[in-house]
Amino acid sequence: MLKELTVQNFALLKTLHLELDEGLMVLTGSTGAGKSIVVGAIGLLLGERAGAHLVRKGTETASVEGVFDLSGRKGLVGRLDQMGLQTEDGLVVIRRLVSRKGDSKAFLNGSRLTVSQLKEVGDLLVDLHGQHDHQSLLRPAHHLELLDDYGQLRTLREEVGEHYRSLERLHQEETALSGDVRMRGQQREFLEYQLEEIERCKPRRDEDAELEKERLVLAHIEDLFEGLKSAYGTLFEDEHSLIEGLSSVRGQLSKLSQIDEELSKSQQDCATLVYQLEELAAELRARLQALQPDPERLAEIADRLDELTRLKRKHGGSISAVLQRQQEIAAELETLTTGDRRLGEIQDEIREKEKQLGALCQKLSDSRKRSAGSLNREVEKQLKNLGMPGTRFSVEIQQQADEGGWARVPGGRYRCDASGMDQVQFLISPNPGEGYRPLAKIASGGEISRIMLAMKSILAGADQVPLLVFDEIDVGIGGQVAEVVGRALRSLGCTHQVLCITHLHQIACLAENHYLVSKEQRDGRTETVIQRLGLREREGEIARMMGGQEITPITLKHARELIRQRDRSEAKS
């Protein structure tokens, strides 16, 4: 409920602080007194358009603040939590500021809100009926909510929503896996070609370095032959070879060491050199004998190196990079293969889920159709009591066939979302013989208010919106119908906080709290003033509403009796 409403420098209101109670409250006053200003202030608090014209002349900023108590309304608190908005012990304080420049700011419990967030919050807290934007009955999207509340179909609808979200996740996975089918096929072909090329080549780690060594030898085999032959000759074969010379030196040192023992070590070192040179000569001779020209092998090596070079150029510049890429390609192909298998599984799951979702949507749709027939009769009955006897009401339920729709039912597929496959709209025929037309296009402000009153009376237990504001509900009615409207509003006040702007005493006398709106001249300026009426003041205001500005003892007595009748009926109940 709205506990407090504080307004400053808004239009003709200089300052206003109202402490509001539960049940039915009425705002009354003479025509032009400014009753609509209060509704306008509430509308501003709910996200309606702001403008510089709303700021009281001579001031810089207009402000509206509302304190809402949501204790006991866990559903609403949960919705706010989902929006990332925290309450404080069930209290929500909304504040809206409008500057002389026309700029506006909004806050919820001190945190800044965007206008769209403010509207979203406002839709949860207040239903404003009359010539205002917050007329939920004019939004076809809200019609589905009202029908489901009436038919107590929330549990079935939540089941539909769960299946829809599960199917949505499967479709997202399918999209991620499938992508562009043609592109995936091309990717597979390209990867298979690359893998086949590497596997056909069968490169070995460091193979290119080994082949380069072999190629270098074969390419310079004549140089190697001549060089080794010359080196071998110098060491061993030629006249006066190194080994022959060292052998002679060793013999001389051997004789001399018999004379000078200190030359024994030199003789041994020389012998070691002779042995080493003989081993070196043997190695050169063996290598020389192994050298064989092989043009075919040289050509084969060149071809192999060319093949490896092309492969390295494609895959990173080295044999190691080629082998690494081979592993990566195999893994990518495995992923594609696994993805294709998973894609097939998902598509099978999707077909099954679509059938399940279609069956649930059909069940929900059939339930809605049954509820719609009952709702039609109840609304028309209520409207008759509320002074609209010739008005016909109808709930239109339609589905949109769609080859790509997710609701698969026997005979076709239909577009759907988490609320099912139905599109619901309330239609009205105000006068006998006229066809049905959408409610938003045909009903007046007063009719809208009474239709909503009828709907709210029927859905009182299910509706979560705590505050209902009715403006112009009494347009075109009076007498017994006004009494029926008043009793309906009072009954609605048992489950909601109801604020009604009225010109009819039949409605005003039934309120738990009565506020009077008037204009006063203060310091040479006109101000709108609002005050809560006590019992005697209230009797006088109801008498004025009955008989005009001149209040007679008879009208005052009648007003007093009307209030007492209300009190007596309360005592009996």
Q: CB under 8 Å to 526, separation ≥6 — which residues?
A: 12, 519, 520
Report the candidate in 403, 459, 401 with the shortest Cα–Cα distance to residue 426: 459
The answer to whether the CB of 467 falls within 8 A of the CB of 499 is: yes
Report the candidate in 458, 453, 437, 435 with the shortest Cα–Cα distance to residue 377: 458
Q: What amino acid occupies position 448?
A: I
Give me the count of residues in the chain. Answer: 573
**pLDDT attached to residue 133:** 47
Give the C-alpha distances (Å, rounded to integers) separating 178 from 166, 184, 403.
Answer: 18, 8, 20
Phi-psi region for residue 381, left (φ > 0), alpha (ψ -120 to 50) or beta?
A: alpha
| CA distance linking residue 129 with residue 142, whole number of Å | 14
**pLDDT attached to residue 348:** 92
Sketch out the chain's domains with CATH numbers. Answer: 1-139+446-455+464-532 (3.40.50.300), 185-333 (no CATH), 539-573 (no CATH)
The answer to whether the CB of 68 falls within 8 A of the CB of 90 is: no
Task: Report CA 86 to chain centroid distance, whole Å.
Answer: 19
| CA distance linking residue 553 with residue 29, whole number of Å | 20
Name the token pair of 499. 């604020």
Residues of the chain with pLDDT under 70: 130-136, 179-183, 339, 442-446, 461-463, 548-549, 566-573
Name the token pair of 160. 């539909």
| CA distance linking residue 430 with residue 148, whole number of Å | 25
The answer to whether the CB of 551 falls within 8 A of the CB of 540 is: yes
Name the token pair of 419. 């609320």
Name the token pair of 406. 């997710």
Task: Report CA 302 to chain centroid distance, whole Å.
Answer: 62
**pLDDT attached to residue 64:** 93
**pLDDT attached to residue 61:** 93
Name the token pair of 547. 């008989």
Query: Kind of pairing, strands 2-10 and 513-522?
Result: unpaired
| CA distance linking residue 185 with residue 177, whole number of Å | 12
Residue-wise burial string across 70-108, b where 16 or more C-beta atoms lie within 10 A, e elsewhere: beebeebbebbeeeebebeeeebbbbbbbeeeeebebeb
Q: Considering the entire predicted model, what is its pTM? A: 0.61
Report the candidate in 338, 506, 474, 395 with the shortest Cα–Cα distance to residue 148: 395
**pLDDT attached to residue 369:** 96
Burial class, 212, CB count within 10 angstroms (exposed 0-12 / middle 13-18 / buried 19+): exposed
**pLDDT attached to residue 131:** 52
Name the token pair of 107. 């806050």
| CA distance linking residue 560 with residue 536, whole number of Å | 9
**pLDDT attached to residue 182:** 63
Give the C-alpha distances (Å, rounded to integers) separating 214 from 218, 290, 297, 306, 351.
Answer: 6, 14, 9, 15, 64
